[in-house]
Amino acid sequence: MKIIDSEIYSLPKDIDYKKEYLKFEAALPEGVILEKINKDKNEIALDYLIAKEFEEAKDQLTPLVEESYNTGVVFYLPKDVKVDQPIKIEFNMDDDNPVVINQNIIVADTASEATIIIDYTSSEGVEAFHQGITKIFAKDKAKINVIKIQRMDNKAKSSDTNIGFIKGQGQINWISVELGSAITVSHYSNYLEGEASGSNLSSIYLGDGNRKIDLEYSMIHKGPRSISNIETKGVLMDEAEKIFKGNLDFKKGARRSKGVEEEYVILLDPTVKADSIPALLCHEDDVEGEHAASAGQINESKLFYLMSRGLDERKAKKLIVEASFRPIIDKIPFEDYRQIVIDEVERRFMDDKN
């Protein structure tokens, strides 16, 4: 089942992105590599581009990005190294730079740790285009935290693929925020290959106007005692459409593993369309898998209570939505980015055009 037009998959050719996007000025620990991706010079990038694991995980979008990318980063963490300051990557699309096709490669060696924030924005009225892929290789006891915020203008289109490979007791934690663009495709696939490996994915999305949103989150358990969690909160209003696919896949050998997925969406208008397809696949006996998906309107009692305290209906609904999003927004460990998300949610609720 698809609600996204195939035109999102037709990538523009030979369009440069010339704006500065890597925002990190502090001194890096010895051995850390953080640089803009280069098709000819990034040896680590080239090694992991042809990694066996990644070849098995490619989908229809991957070759397009690998052929046409015009920006991105390579980030390598040596063994036992922790980067305390967040790595900030900010892609802003405007009239002079309307296209971002980014490929990011992140390699975390044993017991290393870092946090990466990637923020996608576009100027008002610009028909911006974003297509991206982020590949993460987390080795034993490594911990990588990735926060992605997509708040592009309503005339933009965005498609983003994220793939993580987790070895040993490594961990990848994702926070995904989808608040903008006319068309949104956001896919995450995590391969928990090591014993006691882990991955957490927390996401929020807001569909307003005529937005179309396609979300697919997958946790593929291969290693024993691996643990995964998917938590998603959404809101749909006006004539927005959304499809959510959440997959827990326990492969042979993933004994004593546990996976949980849940999605809850608030439907603010009867004209929205929401499809949720949670899937649980199991090839191993001794595992625990839980999945749930629910959709509903705002509780009328809560709405009445807030309006009786002097709020108009729109502000009351906004407050309820923010309360639903808060548990995930609060997981963003930086106040300035938490405030960016809160401000964007408020703007979309209070803007008369929505």
pTM: 0.91
CA distance 349 to 282: 41
Higher pLDDT, 350 or 294: 294
Q: What confidence tier does 142 reach under pLDDT thresholds 50, 70, 90?
A: very high
Q: What confidence tier does 144 reach under pLDDT thresholds 50, 70, 90?
A: very high
Whether residue 281 lies inside any domain: the answer is yes
Whether residue 334 lies inside any domain: the answer is no
Q: What is the pLDDT of residue 353?
A: 46
Whether residue 318 lies inside any domain: the answer is no
CA distance 175 to 201: 6
Using H for helix, E for strand and C for coil, what is the string for 146-185?
EEEEECCCCCCEEEEEEEEEECCCCEEEEEEEECCCCEEE
Whether residue 204 lies inside any domain: the answer is yes
Mean pLDDT of 103-125: 95
Whether residue 236 lies inside any domain: the answer is yes
**Domain carrying residue 290:** 32-298
Whether residue 276 lies inside any domain: the answer is yes
Mean pLDDT of 153-172: 95
Mean pLDDT of 253-258: 96
> Nearest-5° angle of CA 274, CA 204, CA 144?
135
Work out the percent of the chain whose per-residue pLDDT is above 90: 71
Whether residue 332 lies inside any domain: the answer is no
Is the CB of residue 149 less than 8 Å from the CB of residue 118? yes
Structure tokens at 256: 């004593």
Residues counted in the chain: 354
Whether residue 288 lies inside any domain: the answer is yes
Is it the case that residue 9 has pLDDT exceeding 70?
A: no
Q: Tell me which residue of 53, 107, 49 sits closest to 78, measured CA to CA.
A: 107
